[in-house]
Structure formats: C-alpha cells, structure tokens
C-alpha cells in the first residue's frame, strides 16, 4: 500500500530496507486534536514527519494577532529549522486533527546525512521549496487582494487534501473560518465575503470544515 511517509523528503531517496532502518530510529507521537507539539520560541532539536492527520504551524505577532504559516498533512515535515540551525522554534505546531507524527533527533539524523548524501539532498530540496513558497506568500500579501489569496489558499489545500467525488473536488481542510482567515492573512469578515462571492458564482460550496470546488479553472484565474 502507498504509505505517505515514503513521500516525505527524509524517506524519498531511500530503498525499502533503508527506510525501515530509518523508521526504527524515529519515535512515534500520537496526538489528539488540539494538542501542541511545541511552542514558538522554545528551543528544539527534533524534526517531525506526519504519518497521519494534519498539523498547523502558527505564529503570534507582538500585537497578539495569530497567523497560520501553513497546514501540513501526511508525508510533510516540520521542525527541521531548529534541527539544522539550533535555536528557537519559529512557529507553534498544533494537531489540527488527531495525528500521528514520527520524531527524529539530531544525533539520529546525522549518520544518515553523512552516510547517504541523497537524504541530505532531498532535505535541502524541501527547504528550498519551502523558502520559495514563503517568498510567494509574502509577495501575495503585498500584491494580491483578499479574494485572490483565498482562491490560492483553497487551491493549495486542494493539492494536499483534495479528493474527487462524483466529478467534484472535495477538500476537507478541517479549519474553522477563523483559522482559514489566519492562513490567508486577513480578517474573518473579508474572507467570508470572498467565500460568499465564490459561492454566488457557483465556483464552490462551503461546508463545515471543508469546501467542494466546482470550477477549478475560474478559481485558478482568480488566484493569479
């Protein structure tokens, strides 16, 4: 069966035998929805790979406003920044749903980095992709309007969590409207208005903690 952790950057370069060995050096953490893995500002030296469920990475601004930097799902990793560059956690990681994650400490990772350069290469690639996405998101905050950012966020969520059902793209994101607004970097009112406009145009249906995208093409055009 296709196991999502095999797509994780840590495992992607490894054959089955090596993946089993690496997996054996990782510790499994089972978290309930809402459980916090670590808090922004605390020291850390472990990275985590999500095996099941969803995890949010949140940031509190000095004025108390909360933003969500990302919502991650199976096969994605978090916590690697403090592992590679010892220091404080740059975000708070929280289980958005019940989740299972695999943790790996620095000492256990080091032999893999030196012994299997292809593992290091995949991790660098994942870091580079994340940096690119962060730069894109910063540009969007300056140059895109809120409906454009909502459209883009929904499409990104659909890439990660979307499944086709009866010809419709069902995206269970598990976020409240407040959390969706924090991810987009706008107020709940403005995000709701954008969603209502998309619903009105029959581009999507909004359900509790999910959306169904009916017109991907139009949404893509709006996200540009």
Binding site for ligand CMP (CB under 6 A): 44, 57, 69-70, 78-82, 89-91, 130, 134
Structure tokens at 49: 């790979």
End-to-end, the C-alpha distance of the chain in Å comes to: 36
What is the spatial distance between Cα 139 and Cα 135, in angstroms, rounded to a whole number? 6
Cβ distance to ligand CMP smaller for residue 169 or 181? 181
Q: What is the smallest separation between the CB atom of 49 and ligand CMP, expressed in angstroms?
A: 11
Cβ distance to ligand CMP smaller for residue 19 or 68? 68
What is the spatial distance between Cα 119 and Cα 132, in angstroms, rounded to a whole number? 20
Q: Do residues 90 and 78 touch, judged by C-beta distance below 8 A?
A: no
Of the candidates 4, 98, 105, which has an alpha carbon nearest to the alpha carbon of residue 51?
4
Cβ distance to ligand CMP smaller for residue 88 or 221? 88
Q: What is the smallest separation between the CB atom of 204 and ligand CMP, expressed in angstroms?
A: 24
Cβ distance to ligand CMP smaller for residue 80 or 179? 80
Q: What is the smallest separation between the CB atom of 77 and ligand CMP, expressed in angstroms?
A: 7
Indicate the pairing of strand 55-60 with strand 168-172: unpaired
Cβ distance to ligand CMP smaller for residue 37 or 203? 37
Q: What is the smallest separation between the CB atom of 63 and ligand CMP, expressed in angstroms?
A: 19
* Residue 213, CA atoms < 13 Å, CB-side half-sphere: 24
Q: What is the smallest separation between the CB atom of 137 and ligand CMP, expressed in angstroms?
A: 7
């Amino acid at each position: 069966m296709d196991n999502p952790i095999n797509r994780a950057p840590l495992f992607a370069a490894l054959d089955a035998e090596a993946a089993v060995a690496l997996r054996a050096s990782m510790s499994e953490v089972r978290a309930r929805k809402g459980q916090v893995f670590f808090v922004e500002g605390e020291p850390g030296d472990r990275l985590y790979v999500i095996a099941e469920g969803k995890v949010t990475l949140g940031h509190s601004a000095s004025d108390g406003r909360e933003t969500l930097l990302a919502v991650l799902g199976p096969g994605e990793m978090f916590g690697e920044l403090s592992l590679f560059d010892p220091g404080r956690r740059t975000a708070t990681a929280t289980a958005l749903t019940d989740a299972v994650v695999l943790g790996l400490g620095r000492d256990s990772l080091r032999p893999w980095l030196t012994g299997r350069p292809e593992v290091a290469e995949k991790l660098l690639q994942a870091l580079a992709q994340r940096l690119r996405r962060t730069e894109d998101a910063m540009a969007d905050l300056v140059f895109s309007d809120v409906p454009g950012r909502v459209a883009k966020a929904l499409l990104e969520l659909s890439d990660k969590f979307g499944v086709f059902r009866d010809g419709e793209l069902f995206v269970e994101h598990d976020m409240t409207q407040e959390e969706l607004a924090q991810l987009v970097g706008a107020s709940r009112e403005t995000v709701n208005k954008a969603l209502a406009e998309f619903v009105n145009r029959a581009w999507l249906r909004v359900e509790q903690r999910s959306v169904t995208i009916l017109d991907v093409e139009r949404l893509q055009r709006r996200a540009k």
